[in-house]
Structure 1
């Protein structure tokens, strides 16, 4: 979708959007505003809230409420889909092209959030907080929040497409040339992201009230910056930045507290392991009230009348030790709504040996990280994790290993995750090479972060590390091809690290042309 005035001016009514987002899945409504009337700190707060609402975009499937995870999870080796989800099948089987509706939807959602952040930044800059009884500290906080969100949007944009248009100014400053924006080199976009995140970490508070867990903190800015450095393979910068997040206000949810399974309870709203989340909530006056699509899509009809569009391959269940608490976040065995037992076959680590009158052999497993739907309760009111402390620990372990090879701190960090899961700990002697520890870290990441939007990025980064090349897809190919219905779908001529630019954008933006998608889709 072209970044035209309809998109750019969309954020102009963010104060209206901030109020309308309380209607859950209802569409947001917009109206024209007069910037001269937005002169109070309260208007700055409204602008911030309207920008956060962009994380779910329009409805329970938009952006972080659903569709983004289709792009991050389906092409990997863990999550698959049902034949009824046509757009998802294309992503899952690597047969997508520039017409894929989900690719188009996520592109539009990302740049709507960028637009909102730009408009909010301008509104906040023009408000005199001190003269209106507030403080410059709050003004800087508000600016830090919208700049964090802009950086997050651009993190996703560059992860999915590489070079993208760069906009860091409000629509009031646009020229005619901005109607058809050219692509900006990814490195330059990342420079702008780093500037935003450095501002955010310097000006955001370390904590908020528990009810505002969804607001960006200085720790969130540091963690996202660390994630960016990891993607750039800048190990020293990543390790140092991630260390700044440790020993602050975050920790792992302990086994005594219910461990990793209870972390994803619908009632667990503000745990110290959450660094930044999309807080979906039906609570009165909750910050960023949203619903999401994960509950209805994570489990099948037979389980609890879900839609089952995010099944996981049986082979994934088989990699878990039976003692691993994280396996309890998978539907290894359950009683269906019809009274039968659905169980994973023994060959995949389950209990079922044969189908019978009362036993059905599972063909997939489903994740239970998102509260189930119940009887037609399709609104998901639970946290969608964007950054959490376990990720920080494993990223730092990985960065230190890439810098120094096997080392005690990396092993200790991995062991924190394993111990919480109820597994035996590694020793340094367990790893004879950098490659061996690297593989163990990615194995742990796979078990820890399934269906949290990390697998595609991990496979691409793992490929680059293992192949010693910025264009390598060795691990991506190794893991993904065995899960394809037709292995010949995979083509070495396609760079699966980059999605095709949406056809709608190419057709409406004269700075772009279809040749940009050469090498991004199978011909």
Structure 2
């Protein structure tokens, strides 16, 4: 197996942590070597943290949270579709994927690179005496909290996408022979490790940072991710309690209509709004923490709008669910003038203004405008990619309280915060049962978080709650199958809750075999 050297620049131009990795396969990609005796200063610990954050944007400007992760989270659901030119995307969108799908493999590798970097950084930071070098143990624990938060985030994605996964919590210098071919750990064991990491992070991370460092993990980010995990597990009281801590901290707010609301929230110039709890920061500003660019924006919009690649077209049916006064609809390309001078317009049957030729062309898709591209044919987009948003936490608490108690005034008030910011009227308590309020919450989540990677998981959690765990795929099937180009590509024998493990991982890890993919694809 060919080895490739991945270089993580931890000490900027002075020290390079060289990662020996096999391009395909988990067992070889976690090898790292560095001279720990020379990395002894608190600044080295901070640089290790920066190197770990960089894994959020693996594979240049296209990987992990810069793009590929959203292929797995968005394509199989009912909002985003794909064009006929993307074979890997079509497989995901039409549920015909298998273990050889390159995007499934790329995301697997990206996630475990993040795990590897977090493990190496944790060991490095633990070996640095911060107090003897003019710093504090509080800063040391903060740095540890950051890398442990990032490791928990990576494992959240891994368990969401595959369920059972290898659990690796130590640096490669401590590997045994068995660690070179790690077995799958039960999802419950991985989640227990995540809880431990997130509780440590919540205790040791600050409430906030200076504006230029908005992308660093905070105590609120750790509590929010813990909320998300508890929601997935159906631990409603724990989820409600964690969400309440975030809400009552006073650190976050919904960006009000008076400041431009949700449209202004996603403006490229909006770098540090405190509705964003955690983001992939992309900024060309001098002094920004982790100066990065990504290709998310240019992949989100069509060529005839601003020379985007158009890799995330959105079904017209989705546009039709918005009230015409809903401000969130303005984050979709309902009508626009193309770079060729024509008007592109959504047909009237889908809620658009329609029109006729020769100057008006009726849209076959709409596109999201949450990640505005730079109108140039390159990858240098400076768009913050939302990973955790305060609105998410608000609706999590509303949902958890409804699952615990049925319709209640606090859930209604929380939902109305989101609706009011979207320029929609209040809903009232007397109108709902537990079931109908659940439907309302997921409808709001769908309109609020499109192209933020939440829809697929929401469909699974909705189905799980609706059927008391008997059929978590019920809402996935009800919403996705009618939009398939060939409804026969959906198979009742496939468990769409989890993707197949990458074929290259099975081939390179002797602890695995093809049997682990039974029931995960057709």
What is the TM-score when the length of structure 2 is the normalising length?
Answer: 0.95
In structure 2, the residue matched to 1:159 is: 160
Deviation at 1:190, TM superposition (A): 0.2
Distance in 1 (CA, whole Å) between partners of 2:33 and 2:335 is 53
Q: Is the 8 A contact 2:327 2:422 kept in 1?
A: yes
Structure 2 counterpart SS, 1:337: coil
Superimposed CA distance per residue, residues 141-161 of structure 1 (whole angstroms, 9 cap, x where no aligned partner): 000000000000000000000
Q: Which stretch has the larger CA shift, 286-295 or 52-61?
A: 286-295
CA RMSD of aligned residues (A): 2.0
In structure 2, the residue matched to 1:511 is: 511
In structure 1, the residue matched to 2:333 is: 331
Superimposed CA distance per residue, residues 311-331 of structure 1 (whole angstroms, 9 cap, x where no aligned partner): 000000000000000000000
In structure 1, the residue matched to 2:26 is: none
Deviation at 1:382, TM superposition (A): 1.3
In structure 2, the residue matched to 1:457 is: 457
In structure 1, the residue matched to 2:87 is: 86
Deviation at 1:219, TM superposition (A): 0.3
Distance in 1 (CA, whole Å) between partners of 2:11 and 2:447 is 40
Where does structure 1 lack aligned partners over 5 or more consecutive residues? 22-29
Q: Is the 8 A contact 1:276 1:387 kept in 2?
A: yes
In structure 2, the residue matched to 1:27 is: none
Deviation at 1:297, TM superposition (A): 1.1
Q: Do residues 143 (structure 1) and 144 (structure 2) align?
A: yes
Deviation at 1:472, TM superposition (A): 2.2
Deviation at 1:60, TM superposition (A): 0.7
Q: Is the 8 A contact 1:11 1:115 kept in 2?
A: no
In structure 2, the residue matched to 1:107 is: 108
Residue correspondence of structure 1 range 56-75 to structure 2 within 5 A: 56-75=57-76
Structure 1 counterpart SS, 2:169: coil
Structure 1 counterpart SS, 2:340: coil
In structure 2, the residue matched to 1:340 is: 342
Deviation at 1:430, TM superposition (A): 1.6
Structure 2 counterpart SS, 1:342: strand
Structure 2 counterpart SS, 1:275: strand
Where does structure 2 lack aligned partners over 5 or more consecutive residues? 18-30
Deviation at 1:508, TM superposition (A): 0.5
Distance in 2 (CA, whole Å) between partners of 1:47 and 1:11 is 12
Deviation at 1:304, TM superposition (A): 1.1
In structure 2, the residue matched to 1:477 is: 477
1:286 to 285, 288, 296: 288
Distance in 2 (CA, whole Å) between partners of 1:20 and 1:268 is 33
Deviation at 1:86, TM superposition (A): 1.3
Deviation at 1:378, TM superposition (A): 3.5
Superimposed CA distance per residue, residues 213-253 of structure 1 (whole angstroms, 9 cap, x where no aligned partner): 00000000000000000000000000001100013200000
What is the TM-score when the length of structure 1 is the normalising length?
Answer: 0.94
Q: Is the 8 A contact 1:298 1:368 kept in 2?
A: yes
Deviation at 1:11, TM superposition (A): 7.8
Deviation at 1:13, TM superposition (A): 6.1
Which aligned runs of 4 or more in structure 1 are off by greater than 6 angstroms? 17-21
Distance in 1 (CA, whole Å) between partners of 2:33 and 2:235 is 44
